[in-house]
Structure 1
Amino acid sequence: MSRGRRRRERVLEQLTELRELPLGGPGQDFRDRLRADLLAGTVATRTLERAPAEAAATETPERAPARPAGRRRRPRRRRPLLSQLAAVGLVAAMMISSFATYRAVPGDSLYPLKRAAETTLVRLSSTDAERAARELDSAKTRAREVARLLGSAAEGPLVKKTLKDMEESTRAGISRLERAEPRSPKIKKFARDQEEAVKPMLPALDQEQLAQAEGYLDYIEGLAAPE
């Protein structure tokens, strides 16, 4: 039996009881019970009427009604995933750019950046021995660049300029190393390595370039000569 039906039957019973009472009016017990029943019904009705409004006003995010199927919120995990993918892409781009810069030869668009990085490393070195090592590494790099330039369409002036840079880096590095580590075995080792790198290039050089390379070989042969 529903609550409304029970309430109606209770009211009918009270009306029947009231009709059967004497003309002097209902007694105090009846009035108390009627007042209690009416108050209970009124309070219940008001509570039922206020419940939806109060529930909406005090609704917390955890109890919020579900969104319609067509307006579902996107999963929050996509943002971290996109951020991770962006970070990986950035690192990959930096690695590719660094590799391309390292492989650049005179005439390439990235070559000035490569030389600037080498110069910065030399300037940031804290000791003469470290600066000398950087300068000698640059000289070895110039030798490899000359080997790669030979046979290319732009080898002419670029080879000459690179040979000159190689000799300048060699002299600067040797001078620093002799001050920092007199009679260092690193000098002879460097001279032997450079001799092995430069001599195979001689047949491919023109007359002017050959003169530069032979002058360089004479210089480093003196460094490798036994004392």
Structure 2
Amino acid sequence: MDSDLFSRRRAERFAQLLDEANGGRRHHVRSRVDDELATLVAVSQRLTADRPDVQVDQDFRSGLRAMLVATAEREGIGAPAAAKSETAGAGASTRASLLPAVTARRARARGAILVGIAAGAVALSGISAASENAVPGDALYGMKRSTERAQLALASSDISRGQLFLDFARTRLDEAASVHGDRIGFGAVLDDMDADTRQGVRLLTTVAAQRADPAGLDAVNVFVTGQRRAVSGLLERTDQVERDRTRRSLALLDAARDRADALRAAIACGLPTPAASDALGPAPGTCPAER
């Protein structure tokens, strides 16, 4: 059986069941997937009835709206029929007039799925807000990290993603400060913090080198200054293993600062974009000495 056709029929039947559940006209047909789809319909009703009592983050709302609008445009949902006929030409107009009613049902099904995605995303954003202060070991910590990945997916540029990674590194530092009596857990959080630091620095230094613009390097320097001061506070721990692990994170921050300074000098003296690169981004050469 054509899997695309089968999936389309499932979507159309799901849209019908949603209509019926919301008081719409009943369709006097039964499908063998009704029992399976009934669970999804029940979830949709619960999401509608039990709206989360939280304030949805404006950036999340804007990003979600942009994603849904882009999907709607790509799928042709809600496009005026007249506009389509004008661009399609006479032959396409004749063909469009002969399309079966299933075309409209497909559009409604796609629209229902988009609405379902939006409702689910807004509901999950409530859980996301509740998980904001979760720390490793908490039940909602996985949701917190998933929310961060969603933010990265919605970021509009490498600069935005780089800054997000640095923000996440700050968050990991706060989490590390809350871990006590657990060497493995403490080291794991610092590992994640260092990974976020490398990712953020690499993205920002790469953009700076490609554009010959030190603006991204300013963000790196500001981050390193504040982060290094905060990480140094972890050296007050009594556990020697944890202090040694903290020094490794401090060494990474020093390396990030040195890389930003070297790139700034390379941009100032007009060196070309470095060909060599590593975990912290482009590795510039040395400016020629002035005579």
Task: Report the TM-score range of the alignment, normalised by the length of the smaller protein.
Answer: 0.5 to 0.7
Contact 2:194-2:252 within 8 A present in 1 as well: no
Compute the displacement of 1:206 (Å).
2.6
Q: Partner residue of 2:160? A: 130
How much does 1:133 deviate?
0.8
**Equivalent residue, structure 1, for 2:149:** 119
Match of 1:102 among 132, 149, 152: 132
Write out per-residue CA displacement over residues 22-55 of structure 1, whole angstroms, 9 at most, x where no aligned residue: xxxxxxxxxxxxxxxxxxxxxxxxxxxxxxxxxx
What's the TM-score once normalised by structure 1's chain length?
0.54
Higher percent of residues as helix: 1
Partner Cα separation in structure 1 for residue 50 and residue 139 of structure 2? 25
Change (3 A) 1:136 1:205: farther
Secondary structure of 1:134's partner? helix
Which residue in the other structure is 2:243 paired with? 210
**Aligned partners of 1:224, 1:211: CA distance in 2, in Å?**
20
1:192 and 2:222 matched: no
Identity %: 28
Q: How many pairs align?
A: 139
Matches within 5 A, 1:85-100: 90-92=52-54, 97-100=127-130
Does the Cα contact within 8 Å between 2:54 and 2:126 map onto a contact in 1?
Answer: yes
| Structure 1 residues 92 and 128: alpha-carbon distance in aligned structure 2, compared to 1, 3 A threshold | closer
CA contact (8 A) 2:183 2:241 kept: no
Residue from 170, 194, 208 that aligns with 2:197: 170
Q: Measure how far apart 1:156 and its partner are.
A: 2.9
User: Residue type of the partner of 2:148?
Assistant: E
Counterpart of 2:187 in structure 1 is 160
Matched residues in 1 for 2:174 and 2:185: separation?
13
The alignment partner of 2:139 has SS state of: coil
Deviation for aligned residue 1:148: 1.7
How far apart are residue 213 of structure 1 and its match?
Answer: 1.4
State how far apart, in whole Å, the 1-side matches of 2:52 and 2:126 are.
Answer: 10
Unaligned runs of 5+ in 2: 1-47, 56-122, 263-291
Q: Give the deviation of 1:197 after TM superposition.
A: 1.1
Residue 196 of structure 1 and its aligned partner are, at CA, apart by: 1.3
Superposed displacement of residue 123, structure 1: 2.3
Q: 1:221 aligns with which of 229, 233, 254?
A: 254
Cα distance, 1:90 vs structure 2: 3.3
Unaligned runs of 5+ in 1: 1-85
Contact 1:107-1:158 at 8 Å conserved across structures:
no
Q: Deviations over 1:45-73 (max 9, x none)?
A: xxxxxxxxxxxxxxxxxxxxxxxxxxxxx
How has the CA–CA distance of structure 1 residues 196 and 128 changed in structure 2, closer, same or farther, with 3 Å as cutoff? Answer: same
Larger Rg: 1
Alpha-carbon distance in 1 for matches of 2:238, 2:146: 27
Deviation of 1:211 (Å) = 2.2
Q: Which amino acid aligns with 2:205?
A: E
Query: For the residues of structure 2 that align with 1:144 and 1:91, how far apart are their CA atoms?
Result: 27
Q: Contact (CA 8 Å) 2:169, 2:193: kept in 1 or not? A: yes
Q: Give 1:158 shift.
A: 1.5
User: TM-score if structure 2 supplies the norm length?
Assistant: 0.43
Give the whole-Å Cα distance in 2 for the aligned partners of 1:214 and 1:189: 20
Check whether the contact 2:170–2:227 (CA below 8 A) recurs between aligned residues.
yes
- Residue 90 of structure 1 aligns to a residue whose secondary structure is coil
1:92 is displaced (CA, Å) by 4.3
Q: CA RMSD in A?
A: 2.6
Measured against aligned partners, the alpha-carbon deviations of 1:75-100 in whole angstroms (never above 9, x if no partner) come to: xxxxxxxxxxx989732497874443
CA distance in 2, matches of 1:98, 1:169: 20
